[in-house]
Amino acid sequence: MALLRTWLIITAAMLLMWQSSSFASEQITIIIGSWAFEQKSAKNLDVELFLTEHGVGIQATADNVTLAEPIGQLNKVSLTCTQFQLLSERYSCKQGTVAFLHAELGSQKLKFSIKAKPQTNNYDVKVNGLRLAEADISFTAKLANNNWHVLLNIPQASLIQIVSFVSPFLPIDKIDLLKDWSYGSDLNIDAELQGRETQLEKATIKLIASELNVSDIEGKYVTEASSLNIELDVTKSNHSWQWQADVNIPSGQAYGEPVFLDFSETPLSLNASGIWHQDLNHIVVKQATIIHVDIAELNAQFTSDFKQFNDLDLTIKKTEINNLYPIWIQPFLVDTAVANLELAGQIGLNFQLQDDGYQIEMELSDVFIDDEEGRFGLYDLKGSLGWTTLHEALPSDLTWQGGYVYAIPIGKSKIVAEAKESQFKLQQTWTLPILDGDLQLNEFSLYRPENGETQWSFDGLLTPISMESLSSVLEWPTLHGKLSGVIPKVSYQNQHIQVEGALLVKLFGGTTIVKNLQLDTPFGALPQLYANVDIKNLDLETLTRTFDFGKITGKLDGQLNQLRLSNWQPVAFDARFYTPEGDKSKRRISQKAVENLSQIGGGAGGILSRSFLRFFEDFSYQRLGLSCKLANDVCEMTGVSEAEQGYYIVKGGGLPPRINVVGYTRRVGWTDLIERLKSVSQSSGPVIQ
């Protein structure tokens, strides 16, 4: 515009001289070697005025023209206007062209029109054909008393070319950052700009990006064939900017580690407004709404210094959890206990961040949770769950109708608790029905420091649970008795559960006590269990009848020390089972039990059926016992005492007929031993002839 104004001032002067001359010529040419006016200058300026059927025409050239910054010097300048009008206090050019060379803009040839009132500083200019970054740019500019208004249109531009064009003007760190990215897109840009003198005061920018392909060098952030529509309105007020933004992504795909989005299936939109305090480099988002179609709607308000959020208030409206989980939750939970869930129901969430902490409140409606690994599940879960690091308490009230943990069903239950200062505590005893008994938890407390591991602890009581019911759901052989116990304290820290105290099991007429029970990574890929077990006065007749092992009468004591299960399979223990000292009960063993114990100890089968002992149904014994120390998948076996060859599993005694059972295998692979036990359980026993 300054260039046109310069030419037109010169032209107006030439016309005045032309009109005042007495020559009859239809053309006048003026050559000026050097010219300067109001911080503008020109060298080797040639101006030619001529008459056309539409009025006066102008044609001018110059070796160079220097204008005020930011335009600077133009070289090889030529200007033509075939429809020029000069009236009182105004002039215009309805159709003109101007061409020049510029250090940054390169070679340019523009079409323009202009209406001007120089005395009142009013100008109306239209320009077509400006080439920047290989894009054609058109604009309309109006200037009135230092106030200006520009309409800009770029129908097609290349993102690659735009980045290449602006790179020389960027700081070094931004240029280095761009080197780590690949990018490409076709852009359509419309802008309306308003301001005064050199200051922008209001802008509306519309951008449409098609086939947007962006990727960082590591492939952590990628868009592919995406389309993006952006509309931004900004208005300056003192040192602040009021702004309104609308963003729509209707197609394409994107990946931002670890989230993958398919916008063609589920489009995404953002509507936001706020204030940017430019002098403080501080932004206030008064309202922001993100709608991920068929997935979720998020509303937020916050302030930020572009380094961190302040006073954030974020709400996810109630939505279907089975739609939200696979896209926005599951990718962050890989290798955790909740990495593969089947879900139903609705969930809503509110997150508030303040200077001194934060709080989260979740609302659940008719939620069903099933772990695909079959480790746990909850049905018809509803209510609110809260967590906060703030001093003000946040209540929780959750109920569910049923569920399971590792095939063990749990019943209807309710949790009433509150969170405060990174700690979650029960407000009343939590009773969890398990089969025909209850697990009652008291003093449950969970603590999660800001930069530490989650810790929790509780004490409780396990009321008697029928072992018949428990063995049935676990698909064990039918067990008799009750499982119960007092739990002084159970604690969890660093993915480690430790039970302080003992679990008491009344089973097979005796008592089983589980001590030092510990569990590492209980919901991980490879849980580890450790325990020591003491067995007192088990009734062998009840035990052997349960497992169809062959009848044995008498009592049995035992220890299972240093037990270790990996992924619920035994990998180490030191086990010893034996007749207790002072046992005064009747001790008899059947032929079937003798044969089965012989097979376990590696003896030959069918011996009784081939000897005179086949005529006896059972035998008396003095004591029996068997030990197995498992390590490295090998079981080191012994009995109640050493024999001449091997070891005694059963030592004969008492009234005849008496019998000894000798084991010969000292070392046996654990898998082989399990196979022997399976064959024993499936055997119909010896054939007596």
pLDDT for residue 55: 73
pLDDT for residue 6: 53
Q: Which helix (H) or strand (E) holds 179?
A: helix 172-179
> Mean pLDDT highest for which of 255-264, 514-523, 602-611?
255-264
pLDDT for residue 400: 97
Range of the domain at 35: 1-132
- The sign of the dihedral angle between the CA atoms of 610, 616, 621, 627 is positive
Query: Does position 24 have pLDDT exceeding 70, yes or no?
Result: no
Mean pLDDT is lowest, of 193-202, 366-375, 379-388, 650-659, for: 650-659
State pLDDT tens for residues 325-343.
999 999 999 988 889 999 9
Query: Closest Cα partner for 470 from 446, 422, 503?
Result: 503
For the CA atoms of 223, 226, 229, 234, the dihedral, rounded to the nearest 10 degrees, stands at 10
- From 117, 132, 147, the end of a domain falls on 132
Query: Does position 667 have pLDDT exceeding 60, yes or no?
Result: yes
Q: What is the number of residues in the chain?
A: 689
Using the structure block, give the residue that is written with the tokens 């009182």: 88
d(CA 38, CA 445): 80
Query: Does position 250 have pLDDT exceeding 90, yes or no?
Result: yes
d(CA 328, CA 313): 19
pLDDT for residue 603: 53
Collapsing DSSP to helix, strand or coil, 141 comes out as strand
pLDDT for residue 165: 83
Listed in sequence order, the residues at least 6 apart from 174 whose beta carbon sits closer than 8 Å to its beta carbon are none
Residue 212 lies in a domain: no
- From 86, 117, 132, the end of a domain falls on 132
Give the phi and the psi of residue 677 in degrees, each rounded to 5: -65, -40
With cut-offs at 50, 70 and 90, classify the pLDDT of residue 9.
low
Query: Does position 36 have pLDDT exceeding 50, yes or no?
Result: yes
pLDDT for residue 23: 40
Residue 272 lies in a domain: no
Higher pLDDT, 621 or 488: 621
Higher pLDDT, 446 or 40: 446
Considering its fold, how many domains does the chain have in total? 2
Residue 689 lies in a domain: no
Tell me, yes or no, if the pTM score tops 0.85: no
Residue 63 lies in a domain: yes
Please give the structure tokens belonging to residue 15: 């016309």
For the CA atoms of 436, 439, 440, 443, the dihedral, rounded to the nearest 10 degrees, stands at -170
Please give the structure tokens belonging to residue 410: 């749990």
Residue 570 lies in a domain: yes
> Mean pLDDT highest for which of 458-462, 523-527, 575-579?
575-579
Listed in sequence order, the residues at least 6 apart from 684 whose beta carbon sits closer than 8 Å to its beta carbon are none
- From 102, 132, 162, the end of a domain falls on 132
Query: Does position 396 have pLDDT exceeding 80, yes or no?
Result: yes
Residue 618 lies in a domain: no
Query: Closest Cα partner for 146 from 184, 111, 194?
Result: 194
State pLDDT tens for residues 538-555.
999 888 887 777 899 999
Collapsing DSSP to helix, strand or coil, 530 comes out as strand
pLDDT for residue 478: 76
d(CA 28, CA 34): 19
Query: Does position 3 have pLDDT exceeding 60, yes or no?
Result: no
CB 604 within 8 Å of CB 598: yes
Residue 257 lies in a domain: no
Q: Find the mean pLDDT for residues 634-657.
A: 87
State pLDDT tens for residues 88-147.
788 899 989 999 999 888 899 999 999 999 888 899 999 999 998 889 999 999 999 889
State pLDDT tens for residues 128-141.
999 988 899 999 99
pLDDT for residue 545: 80
Question: Beta-carbon neighbour count of residue 421 at 10 Å?
Answer: 12
Query: Closest Cα partner for 45 from 58, 66, 60?
Result: 60
With cut-offs at 50, 70 and 90, classify the pLDDT of residue 40.
confident
Render 446-480 in DSSP notation, one character per residue: EE--TTS--EEEEEEEEEEEEHHHHHHHTTPPP--
Question: Beta-carbon neighbour count of residue 382 at 10 Å?
Answer: 16
Mean pLDDT of the chain: 87
CB 224 within 8 Å of CB 214: no
Residue 476 lies in a domain: no
Query: Does position 470 have pLDDT exceeding 70, yes or no?
Result: yes
Query: Closest Cα partner for 340 from 348, 350, 331, 351?
Result: 331
